[in-house]
């Protein structure tokens, strides 16, 4: 007893526990624990504790440990009859108080401190035996890699009966940090009021917690003291890891993904926050003091792949299945996780499968075989398998899928929304007669089992002109060098391949794109397809530009919408989480694929027309003149765009600017927008004139698009919208033009995608992809048709599309020649 109490008293007047109405110092906590330990008595026994997230349960837990008892936490409100019948606890502590058991003293091993259940409500009385050394080692390791400080305050978002929730208690009390004790859910406004009022710095979550955070608008919350968020309790989809990591980067907190098991006292691995962008699929590196080995498995011929085996001082003593097992010493020295793993980087590991039919979801470990058996006993023949972060169930016979979902949710303890179900005439089987679980997974998700999404790597390679061997399934469009010039083609072809364009697809790994979501309702699918708003606007804007120049109609403003879209795409495809050299390389490539075609076309036009001057060849007419030519200003849009990108490439080449943008992406974009607005209004009195829309000062439209792409909250989007409306008002001196530009860019800010007939989507994609070539060439094309202005406009668009197709084919041939050397033996050296 003295050792634990001395540890608590060592932190004296530091805050130990906070509730909605109470504050305890470490000295107060030690006094209460000591008094409670005296009430429990000194004869060592097993204490079954109803583990609520309140002060009374915490004090009884610590008091039982301090008095030398062995603690068995049970979930609040759980039916503990089977545990009591099997283990015969000497003391039971629940909401009714403390009561003594009717059994004599247990034979308890001296090292035994804690018994934890390994499963949810489908589990049995099988328990994990943990020692005092296990608890101390794991708490020290967690405190070390999370760098927990005495000033940290952790909210109890997970139950004390769950090893993850209990590890938060252990690790924070170890270093003298504080706990915010609450049983409120993160879905409740009262939780966030308490968290903010008590200056919470951290909280823990399982994958389902992060779904709830999306629903309650977590991204828009002001939490000034939040320092980091941890995630464990099952695999979280990589795209969600990336998104929350990026959100944390913008808001000033870190996301730490972790991997563990009750058998390891809680934690085995962690993914440092700075690796969440580049390795969102990984479980991370071993915790301090622990190590992994990968042991060969039948059916996995790859030497680098096998069962993940963990060793460390936090590995359990062993299992208990009856009261007599509580007297046993350590029976294991390594933990066979049952996960199929492989290395995915220096000292980094990922899990790619399971050796058994257990899955861990929403903090519960579920025995799928036991679940199938239980359903069969209830008259439901079914196959159960994991489908990403959902449990997929396919039942045979005359059943209501919703009824199947509710039964499975009730049996497992999962929320109903975490279960997907389908009913079929016969269960899918392999030719061998064994269950076909991949087919079951596809059926439950509503997919065609024969269509596994394969071919996306080839699709990415084709669009981006890469060697298919260099396109890994964990790479994203952005990782592979995708930019604003290729994303139009990619989005159209991807939507055609998947039937639906996922949100934020440029940042999703290919393998996650292949795991397509369930199809939209039939009424939705029957009307058209999804197209990105930026693609539709790009197509519309270039048609407006060409038609206005050809005097078919007079609807100006398309070029300024294009400039805003250019800023939007710059933020999406150049300011990515990739390392600084990769960012600059992508930006350099983007500049090249805009400037090179422009220079080539101007050179051609110089030979066959009198439209341009040598200054146009340098894309510098606005700098060098002549300014009195009727045709010199035709390429102003390209000049603004190229030199803006060149200037930004030089700025972001500087490490300090690069770091600042990563730390506060929206703030940096807003700062550049402020500079653009200052120039637009000539705030500093440079006397640059008021014809800004036809000069380099049009940069502020680019900055609006940039800020729109980096805006992550409704408030930020409102700010960008207000600046846009204020800036456009009076800018052109033409209300129709101002309304058009404002409407187009407001759609870009607020509406990522839209639905339209499939034929319109295909046409928009082709026109948008060719917008640069159409812009460059239309000045020389439409005059050829004289008074037939409509023909001239159509011809300009068609020729732009044709030139785009030719350039694409040339790039493809260049790639093929690069990847097909005459001497095959040279191939490895050329890759």
Q: Are 129 and 317 in contact (CB under 8 A)?
A: yes
549: enclosing H helix or E strand: helix 533-549
**Same fold: 358-445 with 458-530:** no
Torsion angle (degrees, nearest 10) of CA 300, 303, 308, 310: 160
Report pLDDT for 118: 74
- Over residues 372-412, the pLDDT tens digits come to 878 988 889 899 988 877 889 999 988 988 899 989 988 88
So what's the architecture of 358-445 in CATH? 2-Layer Sandwich (3.30)
Rounded distance, CA 540 to CA 764, Å?
A: 8
Residue 105 is given by DSSP the state -
Count the alpha carbons within 13 Å of 177 in the hemisphere toward its beta carbon. 26
Most confident of 480-484, 573-577, 819-823: 573-577
pLDDT band at 189 (very low <50, low <70, confident <90, very high): confident
Averaged pLDDT for residues 599-613: 91
Residue 68, pLDDT above cutoff 90? yes
CB 309, CB 294: distance < 8 Å: yes
Distances in Å between the Cα of 383 and the Cα atoms of 357, 374, 393 are 11, 12, 6
Paired tokens of 717: 């989007």
Average pLDDT over residues 46-51: 93
Residue 669 pLDDT greater than 90, yes or no: yes
Lowest mean pLDDT segment, chosen from 88-102, 260-274, 497-511, 735-749: 497-511
**What is the residue extent of each domain of the chain?**
358-445, 458-530, 534-810
Largest CA distance in the chain: 106
Contact in structure between 247 and 276 (CB atoms under 8 Å): no
In the predicted model, what is the mean pLDDT of residues 104-109? Answer: 78
What pLDDT shows up at residue 687? 61
- The band of 579, judged by pLDDT with boundaries at 50, 70 and 90, is confident
The pLDDT of residue 277 is above 70: yes
The alpha carbon torsion through 810, 814, 816, 822 (nearest 10 deg) reads 140
Q: In this structure, are residues 564 and 793 in contact, taking their beta carbons and an 8 Å threshold?
A: no
Q: How many angstroms separate the Cα of 89 from the Cα of each of 67, 101, 368, 441, 526? A: 15, 6, 30, 42, 62
| Residue among 680, 683, 688 nearest 729 (CA) | 680
Q: What is the pLDDT of residues 487-546, one digit of tens each?
A: 767 776 776 666 666 666 777 778 767 654 444 443 334 445 677 899 999 999 999 999
The per-residue pLDDT of the chain, averaged, comes to 85
Q: Can you say how many angstroms the Cα of residue 214 is from the centroid of all Cα atoms in its chain?
A: 11
pLDDT at position 575: 86
> Could you report the per-residue pLDDT of 156-170, keeping only the tens digit for each?
999 898 899 999 999
1.10.1200.10, 3.40.50.300, 1.10.472.10, 3.30.390.30: CATH of 458-530: 1.10.1200.10
Lowest mean pLDDT among 106-115, 249-258, 365-374: 365-374
């Amino acid at each position: 007893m003295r050792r634990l109490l001395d540890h608590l008293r060592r932190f004296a007047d530091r805050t130990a526990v906070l509730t909605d109405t109470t504050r305890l110092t470490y000295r107060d906590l030690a006094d209460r624990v000591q008094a409670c330990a005296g009430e429990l008595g000194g004869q060592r026994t097993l204490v079954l504790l109803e583990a609520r997230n309140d002060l009374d349960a915490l004090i009884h837990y610590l008091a039982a440990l301090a008095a030398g008892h062995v603690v068995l936490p049970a979930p609040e409100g759980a039916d503990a009859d089977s545990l009591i019948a099997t283990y015969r606890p000497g003391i039971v502590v629940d909401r009714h108080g403390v009561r003594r058991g009717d059994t004599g003293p247990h034979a308890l091993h001296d090292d035994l401190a804690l018994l934890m259940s390994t499963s949810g409500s489908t589990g049995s009385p099988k328990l994990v035996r943990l020692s005092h050394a296990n608890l101390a080692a794991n708490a020290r390791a967690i405190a070390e890699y999370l760098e927990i400080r005495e000033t940290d305050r952790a909210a109890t978002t997970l139950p004390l009966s769950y090893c993850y929730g209990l590890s938060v208690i252990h690790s924070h009390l170890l270093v003298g940090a504080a706990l915010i004790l609450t049983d409120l859910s993160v879905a409740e406004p009262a939780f966030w009021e308490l968290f903010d009022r008590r200056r919470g710095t951290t909280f823990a979550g399982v994958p389902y917690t992060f779904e709830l955070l999306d629903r309650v608008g977590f991204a828009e919350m002001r939490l000034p003291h939040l320092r980091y968020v941890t995630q464990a309790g099952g695999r979280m989809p990589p795209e969600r890891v990336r998104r929350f990591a990026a959100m944390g980067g913008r808001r000033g907190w870190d996301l730490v993904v972790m991997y563990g098991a009750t058998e390891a006292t809680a934690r085995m691995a962690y993914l440092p926050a700075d690796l969440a962008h580049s390795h969102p699929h990984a479980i991370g590196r071993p915790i301090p003091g622990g190590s992994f080995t990968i042991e060969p498995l039948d059916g996995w011929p790859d030497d680098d792949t096998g069962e993940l085996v963990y060793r460390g001082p936090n590995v359990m003593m062993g299992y208990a299945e009856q009261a007599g097992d509580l007297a046993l010493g350590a029976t294991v020295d390594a933990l066979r996780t049952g996960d199929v793993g492989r290395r995915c980087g220096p000292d980094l590991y990922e899990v790619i499968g399971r050796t058994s039919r257990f899955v861990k979801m929403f903090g519960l470990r579920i025995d799928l075989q036991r679940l199938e058996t239980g359903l069969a006993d209830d008259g439901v023949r079914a196959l159960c398998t994991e489908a990403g972060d959902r449990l997929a169930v396919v039942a045979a016979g005359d059943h209501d899928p919703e009824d199947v979902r509710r039964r499975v949710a009730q049996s497992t303890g999962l929320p109903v929304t975490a279960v997907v179900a389908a009913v079929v005439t016969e269960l899918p089987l392999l030719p061998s007669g064994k269950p076909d679980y991949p087919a079951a997974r596809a059926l439950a998700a509503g997919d065609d089992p024969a269509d596994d999404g394969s071919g996306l790597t080839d699709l990415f390679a084709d669009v981006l002109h890469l060697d298919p061997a260099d396109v890994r399934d964990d790479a994203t469009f952005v990782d592979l060098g995708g930019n604003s010039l290729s994303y139009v083609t990619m989005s159209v072809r991807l939507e055609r391949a998947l039937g639906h364009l996922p949100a934020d697809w440029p940042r999703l790994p290919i393998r996650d794109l292949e795991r397509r979501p369930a199809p939209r309702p039939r009424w939705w699918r029957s009307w058209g397809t999804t197209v990105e708003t930026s693609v539709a606007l790009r197509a519309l804007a270039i048609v407006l530009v060409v038609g206005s120049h050809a005097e078919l109609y007079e609807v100006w403003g398309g070029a300024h919408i294009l400039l805003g879209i250019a800023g939007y795409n710059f933020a999406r495809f150049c300011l990515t989480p990739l390392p600084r050299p990769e960012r600059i390389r992508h930006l350099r490539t983007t500049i090249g694929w805009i400037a090179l075609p422009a220079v080539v076309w101007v050179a051609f036009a110089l030979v066959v027309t009198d439209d341009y001057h040598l200054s146009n060849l340098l894309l510098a007419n606005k700098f060098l003149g002549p300014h009195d030519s009727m045709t010199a200003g035709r390429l102003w849009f390209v000049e603004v765009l190229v030199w803006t990108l060149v200037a930004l490439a030089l700025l972001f080449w500087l490490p300090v600017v690069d770091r600042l943008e990563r730390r506060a992406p929206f703030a940096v974009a807003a700062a550049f927008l402020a500079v653009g607005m200052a120039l637009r209004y000539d705030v500093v009195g440079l006397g640059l004139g008021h014809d800004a829309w036809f000069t380099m000062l049009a940069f502020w439209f680019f900055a609006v698009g940039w800020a729109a792409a980096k805006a992550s909250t409704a408030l930020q989007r409102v700010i960008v919208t207000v600046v846009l409306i204020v800036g456009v008002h009076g800018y052109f001196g033409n209300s129709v033009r101002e309304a058009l530009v404002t409407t187009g860019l407001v759609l870009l800010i607020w509406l990522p995608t839209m639905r339209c007939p499939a034929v319109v989507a295909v046409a928009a994609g082709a026109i948008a992809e060719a917008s640069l070539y159409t812009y460059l060439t239309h000045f020389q094309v439409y005059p050829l048709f004289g008074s037939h202005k409509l023909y001239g406009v159509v011809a300009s668009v068609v020729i732009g599309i044709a030139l785009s197709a030719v350039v694409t084919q040339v790039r493809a041939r260049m790639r093929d020649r690069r990847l097909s050397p005459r001497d095959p033996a040279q191939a490895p050296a050329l890759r």
